[in-house]
């Protein structure tokens, strides 16, 4: 298939070999991306969680522990580097990881060490925990986080505070699913209040300060939301502030690769965003490129 310049994902590539809730192999994910005409595919496996209290029930059921997570991440780093070589000339593969903000006392040093020790091409900075409580998993966990923060609105405000703090501390290349707090919030009220918006704009300002690219994360659609992450008002605010976007399919297996990408392109265009900012490789160097979402018509 012909390569499509705007088909770039900078968040995804989770696979069953390295993630308990993903499917297939990383090679299958990349084969699918190549078949769909992706120009660049950034793989960002989850960083390991360094304390047993952050293990998921599914991981415990499999008999996994923290040393197992560390070994799997090392294996991921090696396998992704191997696949970069295999796909050279066919698909530009970037090797990265998605950061975690737990444990609170040590996450930043650990995430910086991962990037340095593995010489990753890029880092996705995401917030899945607020005050060390999961907000991206089971509903009982989300309800626990709401209760611990005294309500949904205070939880959403704390989420954006933590997102901004993560950006300030880590300076990630990409900010993952900027308004992830929306995912489970619908049953409990609104996270689009004036006070929440104020905190979100502070986090957005930090993204601009550190030249971050926002993940236009297509998974919002498959999670049952009416838009990808982030929602329209945040896309417009980012556009006005000059903060760029790139797609992330947040794939957890080959069947997720490129899912809703065309729909998300139309979403951006409808909100006045007509380019993405891709991280890619040229002449052996990792670079940024602005890519039009609409092909130029020759005169």
Asked if the structure places residue 193 within a domain, the reply is: yes
pLDDT at 292: 98
HSE of 235 in the Cβ direction (CA atoms, 13 Å)?
A: 26
Q: How many domains does the chain have?
A: 1
Q: Tell me the mean pLDDT in the region 57-69.
A: 94
Q: Is the pLDDT of residue 88 over 50?
A: yes
Locus of tokens 């989300």: 142
- Cα–Cα distances (Å) from 281 to 72, 224, 234, in that order, read 26, 34, 29
The share of the chain scoring above pLDDT 90, in percent, equals 97
CATH classification of the domain holding 76: 3.20.20.140
Asked if the structure places residue 297 within a domain, the reply is: no
pLDDT at 296: 56
Q: Tell me the mean pLDDT in the region 179-205.
A: 97
Asked if the structure places residue 163 within a domain, the reply is: yes
Asked if the structure places residue 298 within a domain, the reply is: no
pLDDT at 80: 98
pLDDT at 1: 74
Q: Is the pLDDT of residue 190 over 50?
A: yes
Q: HEC profile for the chain?
A: CCCEEEEEECCCCCCCCCCCCCCCCHHHHHHHHHHCCEEEEEEEEECCCCCHHHCCHHHHHCCCCHHHHHHHHHHHHHHHHHHHHHCCCCCEEEEEEECCCCCCCCHHHHHHHHHHHHCCCEEEECCCEECCEECCCCHHHHHHHHHHHCCHHHHHHHHHHHHHHHHHHHCCCEECCCCHHHCCHHHCCCCCCHHHHHHHHHHHHHHHHCCCEEEEECHHHHCCCCCCECCHHHHHHHHHHCCCEEEECCCCCHHHCCCCHHHHHHHHHHCCCCEEEEEEEECCEEEEEEEECCCCCCC
Quick: pLDDT tens for 219-270: 999 999 999 999 999 999 999 999 999 999 999 999 999 999 999 999 999 9
Give the range of the structural domain holding residue 237, as residue numbers without chain letter: 4-292
Asked if the structure places residue 299 within a domain, the reply is: no
Q: Tell me the mean pLDDT in the region 204-221.
A: 98
Asked if the structure places residue 148 within a domain, the reply is: yes
Average pLDDT over the chain, rounded to an integer: 96
pLDDT at 297: 44
Q: Report the first-to-last Cα separation within the chain, whole angstroms.
A: 26
Quick: pLDDT tens for 277-299: 999 999 999 999 999 999 754 44
pTM for the predicted model, two decimal places: 0.96
- Cα–Cα distances (Å) from 291 to 189, 240, 275, in that order, read 37, 18, 5
Locus of tokens 């601009």: 208
> What would the two tokens of residue 283 be?
């002449």
Asked if the structure places residue 272 within a domain, the reply is: yes
Asked if the structure places residue 130 within a domain, the reply is: yes
């Amino acid at each position: 298939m012909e390569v499509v310049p705007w088909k770039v994902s900078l968040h995804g590539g989770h696979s069953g070999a390295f993630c308990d809730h993903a499917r297939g192999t990383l090679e299958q994910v990349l084969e699918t991306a190549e078949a769909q005409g992706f120009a660049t595919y950034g793989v960002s496996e989850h960083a390991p969680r360094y304390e047993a209290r952050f293990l998921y029930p599914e991981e415990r059921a499999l008999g996994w522990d923290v040393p197992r997570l560390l070994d799997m991440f090392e294996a991921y780093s090696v396998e992704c580097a191997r696949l970069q070589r295999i796909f050279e000339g066919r698909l530009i593969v970037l090797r990265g990881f998605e950061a975690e903000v737990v444990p609170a006392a040590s996450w930043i040093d650990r995430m910086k060490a991962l990037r340095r020790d593995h010489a990753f091409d890029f880092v996705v900075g995401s917030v899945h925990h607020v005050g060390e409580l999961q907000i991206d998993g089971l509903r009982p966990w989300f309800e626990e986080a709401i209760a611990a923060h005294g309500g949904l609105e205070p939880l959403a405000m704390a989420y954006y505070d933590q997102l901004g703090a993560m950006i300030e501390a880590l300076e990630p290349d990409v900010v993952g699913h900027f308004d992830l707090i929306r995912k489970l919030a619908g049953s409990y009220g609104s996270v689009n209040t004036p006070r929440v918006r104020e905190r979100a704009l502070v986090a957005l300002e930090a993204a601009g300060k550190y030249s971050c690219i926002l993940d236009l994360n297509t998974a919002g659609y498959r999670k049952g939301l009416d838009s990808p992450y982030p929602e329209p008002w945040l896309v417009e605010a980012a556009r006005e502030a000059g903060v760029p976007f790139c797609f992330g399919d947040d794939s957890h297996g080959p069947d997720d690769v490129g899912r809703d990408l065309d729909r998300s392109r139309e979403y951006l265009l409808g909100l006045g965003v007509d380019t993405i900012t891709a991280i890619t490789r040229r002449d052996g160097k990792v670079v940024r490129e602005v890519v039009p979402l609409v092909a130029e018509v020759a005169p």
